[in-house]
Amino acid sequence: MNLLRGVMRRLRRRLPVIDFMKNKHEDCVNFENGHCKFYHIAVNPKGSACPHFKAKKKQAETKTANIEKEN
């Protein structure tokens, strides 16, 4: 049992420190129609994001990038 606690303690130290509370599932690339494409489960869109959070590109940035490519 102590071995397991030591392993868990070491794993927690190695995980990146990120404030997930400011990110929501609905802002993640892996979120679509109420489901997480990474874990293949249903999630609350307003819930806090997981460690696999990847931000969606903003629509305005995408539109300006497309306009620049056309010119």
Instruction: Report the candidate in 20, 22, 23, 53 with the shortest Cα–Cα distance to residue 36.
Output: 53
Q: What is the pLDDT of residue 63?
A: 53
Q: Where are the domains of the chain?
A: 19-70
Query: Tens digit of pLDDT for each residue in 22-53?
Result: 888 899 999 999 999 999 999 999 988 888 88
Q: Is 49 exposed, middle or buried (0-12, 13-18, 19+ CB in 10 A)?
A: buried
What whole-number distance in Å separates Cα of residue 57 and Cα of residue 29? 8
Q: What is the pTM of this model?
A: 0.50
For the chain, percent of residues with pLDDT exceeding 70? 68
Strand partners, 48: 24
